[in-house]
């Protein structure tokens, strides 16, 4: 990891530790105040605990033009970004995609191309509905590895993270605590429940918290929809297409709508927010990732609406192409933050349990 970024975070953390005014905002400060000296591992853990709510920045009496020049959200964002790049496997992929929206766009277009080529080369083998364009077995052949490889990659990264931050064996209680925190996005609530300071300087608002949860729960609903489809297919021998009153649709349609609304709002907030309070170099990659998620959700909804029209094959290629690149890029884009964040929250539960 980059020593200059760690050194700057260390300098700032030492000032914060002598002040402590922000103790109630989030999980970062109680963890920070427990240390006296900050190792690289401490700083990596603090950086991944930080949700970039920015409450501490606007409350801080030492931000520029003060000579202490504190900007903890930025310092931690840069360490966090750097940690994801160095824990990723293979690391060069993270360096390409974390910071570059253009690279994400190129990967997405490549995803479309792969699907169009597959339609042409592999074809339907006599299936119906979507399978008339690409057979079910061809879809599985493409998506099963595209799903498993990122999971394996993430597993390697999380192992590295756990080793670096000194994590011990995990208990159910710690997992429940961490997931509870993520489920309510407690760390974007500001400690007082008024939300965070993101899009309008020091005004507290729930916008980012709500938008994030719309995307998160929308994504989980879509994921559940796909899983339900898989079970119906293999266990109950009920292949797609499914009617609206089926489990895949009842989960997937609201999920897609939540994701579309959430990503649009996240992008809007991101355009309004001050870029210098995050990792400025990663802005493009973050925005590219939001747009990719938007495309996944919107194309999925469009496919549902227009699945019986002539536009279906093209929409299917766009949807499956964007899903393919989304899956493959998961370890190397902002998507990885969900895994690291959960790991950091579990690690913080361990810290709290240890007193």
Q: Phi and psi at residue 196, in whole multiples of 5°?
A: -120, 175
Residue 247's Cβ-side half-sphere holds a number of Cα atoms within 13 Å equal to 14
Give the shortest CB-10-to-another protein separation in angstroms: 10
Contact segment (CB under 8 A) with another protein among 136-144, 191-199, 278-286, 315-323 equals 191-199
How far apart are CB 50 and another protein at their closest, in Å? 15
Q: Which of 5, 9, 25, 294 lies at the binding interface for another protein (CB under 8 A)?
A: 25
Residues in the chain, overall count: 355
State the Cα–Cα distance between residues 5 and 95, nearest whole angstrom: 16
320 Cβ contact partners less than 8 Å away, ≥ 6 residues apart: 111, 115, 134, 139, 142, 143
Among 1, 2, 30, 132, binds another protein (CB under 8 A): 30
How far is C-alpha 43 from the geometric centre of its chain's CA atoms?
A: 21
Q: Give the integer Cα–Cα distance in Å for 132 and 295.
A: 23
Single out the residue of 277, 256, 255 nearest to residue 208, CA to CA. Answer: 277
Burial 331-343 (b: 16+ CB within 10 A, else e): bbbbbbbebbbbb
Of 28 and 138, which has the nearer Cβ to another protein?
A: 28
Phi, psi of 29 (to 5 degrees): -70, -45
Among 4, 65, 169, 354, binds another protein (CB under 8 A): 65
Q: Which of 324, 283, 285 is nearest to 96 (CA)?
A: 285
Q: How far is the CB of 193 from another protein (least distance, A)?
A: 9
Choice between 68 and 89, CB closer to another protein: 68
> What residues between 34 and 53 interact with another protein by CB under 8 A?
36
Interaction between residue 18 and another protein (CB under 8 A):
yes
Binds another protein (CB under 8 A): choice among 203, 268, 272, 275: 203
Q: Least distance (Å) from another protein to the CB of residue 7?
A: 13
Interaction between residue 129 and another protein (CB under 8 A): no
User: Looking at 6, 46, 47, 56, which residue binds another protein (CB under 8 A)?
Assistant: 56
- Selected from 69, 128, 173, 194, the binder of another protein by CB under 8 A is 194
Written as six digits, the tokens of 66 are: 């003060």
69 is an interface residue for another protein by CB under 8 A: no
Judged by CB, which is closer to another protein: 14, or 164? 14
CB 76 within 8 A of CB 278: no
Q: Which residues bind another protein (CB under 8 A)?
A: 14-15, 17-25, 30, 33, 36, 55-56, 58-67, 190-192, 194, 202-203
């Amino acid at each position: 990891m980059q020593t200059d970024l760690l050194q700057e975070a260390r300098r700032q953390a030492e000032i914060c530790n002598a002040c402590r005014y922000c103790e109630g905002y989030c999980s970062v400060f109680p963890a920070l105040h427990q240390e006296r000296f900050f190792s690289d591992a401490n700083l990596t853990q603090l950086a991944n605990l930080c949700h970039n709510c920015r409450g501490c920045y606007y409350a801080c009496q030492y931000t520029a033009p003060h000579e202490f020049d504190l900007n903890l959200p930025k310092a931690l964002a840069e360490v966090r970004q750097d940690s994801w790049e160095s824990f990723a496997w293979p690391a060069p992929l993270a360096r390409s995609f974390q910071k570059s929206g253009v690279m994400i766009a190129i990967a997405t277009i490549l995803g479309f191309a792969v699907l169009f080529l597959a339609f042409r080369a592999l074809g339907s083998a006599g299936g119906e509905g979507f399978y008339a364009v690409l057979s079910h077995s061809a879809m599985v052949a493409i998506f099963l590895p595209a799903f498993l490889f990122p999971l394996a990659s993430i597993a390697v990264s999380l192992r590295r993270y756990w080793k670096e931050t000194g994590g011990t064996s995990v208990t159910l209680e710690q997992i429940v605590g961490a997931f509870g925190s993520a489920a309510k996005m407690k760390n974007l609530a500001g400690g007082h429940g008024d939300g965070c300071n993101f899009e309008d300087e020091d005004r507290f608002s729930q916008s980012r918290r709500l938008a994030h949860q719309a995307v998160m729960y929308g994504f989980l609903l879509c994921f559940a929809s796909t899983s339900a489809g898989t079970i119906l297919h293999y266990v109950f021998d009920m292949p797609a297409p499914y009617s609206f009153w089926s489990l895949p649709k009842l989960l997937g349609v609201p999920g897609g709508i939540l994701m579309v609304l959430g990503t649009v709002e996240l992008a809007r907030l991101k355009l309004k927010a001050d870029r210098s309070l995050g990792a400025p170099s990663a802005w493009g990659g973050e925005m590219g990732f939001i747009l990719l998620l938007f495309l996944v959700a919107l194309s999925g909804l469009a496919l549902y609406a227009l699945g019986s029209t002539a536009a279906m094959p093209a929409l299917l290629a766009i949807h499956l192409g964007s899903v393919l690149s989304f899956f493959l890029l998961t370890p190397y884009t902002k998507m990885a933050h969900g895994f690291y964040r959960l790991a950091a929250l579990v690690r913080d539960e361990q810290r709290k349990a240890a007193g």
